[in-house]
Amino acid sequence: MSGAGEFVIYHNPACGTSRNVLAAIREAGIEPRVVKYLETPPSRAELEALIAAMGIPVRDLLRRQGTPFAELGLDDPALTDAALIDAMMAHPILINRPIVVSPRGVKLCRPSQAVADLLP
């Protein structure tokens, strides 16, 4: 995920929220490591670690709009966390963004103002 003290953003440059969060981090004087997760998706272990660090249910990390969410039937409450993670691994566009890793914690920064909790 990140070295001690390092900021990392799992970023999609096509996403306005992701661009706003990256700009806010840079405006705070921090140059984060930018992971374009659609080009370089996290490994399963990294994704599981991010979810655990955020303390959110796996389902809360699923992106619904502009993804194969509906076609894959991911709204089925019977699907296990493992099945949902399998879907995110097969289709990284399903991973909601931006995820920010910081010395203050890990957070899905939607809305973009949520990044303020992670900045010094």
CATH of the domain at 106: 3.40.30.10
Active site residue 15: yes
> Which residues constitute the domain of residue 40?
8-118
Looking at the 3D structure of the chain, how many domains does it have? Answer: 1
Terminal-to-terminal C-alpha distance of the chain: 19
Residue 31 backbone zone (phi > 0: left; psi -120 to 50: alpha; other: beta): beta
Residue 94 in 3-state DSSP? helix
Q: Residue 114 has what pLDDT?
A: 97
User: Encoding tokens for residue 62?
Assistant: 């699923």
Q: Residue-wise pLDDT tens for the chain (120 aa)?
A: 555 569 999 999 999 999 999 999 999 999 999 999 999 999 999 999 999 999 999 999 999 999 999 999 999 999 999 999 999 999 999 999 999 999 999 999 999 999 999 999
Find the catalytic residue in 8, 11, 12, 15. Answer: 15
